[in-house]
Structure formats: C-alpha cells, structure tokens
C-alpha cells in the first residue's frame, strides 16, 4: 500500500439509478498529522479495550464492567467493516451510527473505570479514554457529513425531458 493512501479514507459505494452509477464517498481529513486510518485505529482500539478489561478486579462489579466494555469496545471494528460494504447510503449511515453509539458507550464505561480508580497506572485506560474521544468525533463528523450529502442529493431537481423526447 502506498504511503499516505488509506483504505477507508475514500469509501465509495455505487448505487443504481436507472442504469446510471452514482458514487458517494466518506472522506476524512488529516489535520495536525494525526492518523485517520480507521482500518488501523479500530483494531488497535479493540485490542486496548481487551487489555483494559483483563486488568480489572475480579469482584462482582469488576466482572460486570469488563464484559460491558468488551462488548461495546470491540464492536466498532466489525461494524465499520459492515459499513464499508453497505447496500445503500441509508445502510452506510446506519452502520456508522452503530459505530458511534458503541464508541460513546465505551467512553462512558472507561470513564466509570477511571472514576473507580481501577486503572490508575494502566496505559490501556489512558489510551482507551483518549482514543474513544477522537473516534467519537471522527464518526460523528462522518455521520453528519453523509447526512448532509444525502439531503443535498435528495433536494437536487429531477432530470426533466422536453415533451415528446423522453426515453
């Protein structure tokens, strides 16, 4: 893979429109030199969530919280894969929203872990907290952008043909 080329930076999904192929894209910016390759970030995030869950106490609460953060923290990666293979723009947006929902939940569980003092010196907790915040922002911006694009597309006037020259 060429340097600077990201597999998810320009997701394209063709949709049929009376034989015409329409392509829509998800484009991610790259400000401050930060990494926006979700194919790298999401598995790294899931791995950190797994590591964090292993480090939590073995009490009743210490077994409930890890199972919850494991579910929410590992699901954005496969859901993002599903979004890449979406059947329609609406399906794509829906799957991005699932990623966003799960990332927000993971962020809440990580904040609870931090508040309980369970991962004080755990670098995985620091990473999960900061990465969840960034990923929430990325997915939120992607959902908003694609919603705007879908709305703009629906508002485009339909092609009109002069009388007697249609099809």
- Rounded to the nearest angstrom, the gap between the alpha carbon of residue 28 and the centroid of all alpha carbons in its chain is 11
Question: Is residue 107 in a domain?
Answer: yes
Sequence-ordered list of residues with C-beta below 8 angstroms from that of 59, at least 6 positions apart, any chain: none
Domain count, the chain: 1
CATH of residue 136's domain is 1.20.1440.60
pTM: 0.71
In tens, the pLDDT along 76-111 reads: 999 999 999 989 988 999 999 999 999 999 999 999
Question: Is residue 47 in a domain?
Answer: yes
Count of CB atoms situated within 10 Å of the CB of 150: 16
Question: Is residue 4 in a domain?
Answer: no
Coil, helix or strand at residue 11 = strand
In tens, the pLDDT along 5-19 reads: 434 433 443 333 343
Question: Is residue 25 in a domain?
Answer: no
Q: Which domain holds residue 73?
A: 39-153
Torsion of CA 82, 84, 85, 91, to 10 degrees: 70
């Amino acid at each position: 893979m060429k340097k600077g080329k990201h597999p998810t930076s320009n997701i394209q999904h063709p949709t049929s429109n009376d034989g015409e192929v329409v392509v829509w894209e998800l484009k991610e910016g790259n400000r401050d030199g930060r990494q926006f390759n979700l194919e790298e970030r999401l598995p790294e995030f899931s791995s950190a969530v797994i590591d964090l869950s292993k480090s939590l106490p073995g009490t009743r609460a210490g077994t409930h919280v890890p199972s919850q953060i494991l579910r929410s923290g590992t699901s954005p990666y496969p859901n993002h894969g599903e979004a890449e293979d979406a059947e329609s723009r609406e399906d794509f947006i829906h799957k991005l929203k699932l990623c966003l929902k799960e990332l927000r939940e993971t962020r809440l569980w990580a904040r609870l872990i931090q508040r309980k003092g369970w991962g004080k010196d755990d670098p995985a907790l620091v990473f999960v907290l900061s990465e969840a915040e960034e990923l929430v922002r990325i997915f939120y911006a992607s959902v908003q952008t694609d919603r705007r694009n879908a709305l703009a597309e629906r508002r485009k006037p339909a092609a009109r043909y002069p009388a007697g020259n249609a099809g």
